[in-house]
Copies of this chain bind each other. A is one copy, B any other.
Amino acid sequence: MAGSTPRIPDATVARLPLYRRALLELDEQTTANVSSERLAEMAGVNAAKVRKDLSYLGSYGTRGVGYDVEFLLFHVSRALGLTSDWPVVIVGMGNLGQALANYRGFTERGFPVAALVDVDPAKVGSEIDGRLVDHLDDLDRLVAERGIAIAIIATPAAVAQEVAERVVEAGVQSVLNFAPTVVTLPDGVPVRKVDLATELQILSFYQQRRASTSGADH
């Protein structure tokens, strides 16, 4: 159909949060205007990329002047769907799940931790960071009552796939997978994967390459 918004490239989507954070910082400093050059510097990318990325959202800058910080912040936030909070549930209260439950950053940045669940009777009913741990079997109710949109999977790898399918059945719309295994979901349910050890392994590669290329001395 005519007039539909052009699809925003994945690479651009992944950078929008960088621009948003830079804009939030500028907004706090009550900076009214910002150039693509300055925004690029703050986000650690180059200015041509900033302009191209932002152009996918619309034409929100002024030639010769730059971008109005508040105006652009609103449009970047809106593009990301961050005009309202998205309650999350953390599934799996093992080591990593507890660590994530204690992390304040989710709630602070618009993703309130609305529920914690596990299946272990020793954990269900206990409190973590002042929050009650519910049983996975209560998920349907929790999702419905608390408007939970996103599940953070922090279970062992062996059950991650099963749990992911279950949270989607319960009505969760997106999944962030911390379990060290690949999870595949039906339809177009967005899944992202974060693996802390993987990040370290990639660092290890580049560190080694650097060591081997830059002189084999000592």
Contact = CB atoms under 8 A, between A and B. Distances in A.
Interface of A: 8, 13-14, 16-18, 20-21, 42-44, 79-82, 86, 88, 95-96, 98-100, 102-106, 108-111, 149-150, 173-176, 180-182, 184, 188-190, 192, 194-208, 210-211, 214
Contacts of A201: 16-17, 20, 80, 82, 109
Contacts of A203: 150, 174-176, 190, 192
Contacts of A42: 182
Contacts of A214: 188
Nearest to A208: B81
A96 B105 contact: yes
Contact of A199 (B86, B194, B197, B207): B194
Given A17-B201, A174-B206, A182 B95 contact: no
Contact of A205 (B13, B111, B188, B200): B13
Contacts of A196: 100, 103, 105-106, 194
Given A86-B204, A197-B109, A182 B96 contact: no
Contacts of A208: 80-81
A43 B197 CA distance: 16
Contacts of A111: 197, 200
A82 B188 CA distance: 35
A89 to B, nearest CB: 12
Contacts of A88: 200
Contacts of A176: 199-200, 203
A105 B98 CA distance: 13
A192 B30 CA distance: 30
A175 B161 CA distance: 31
B202 A192 contact: yes
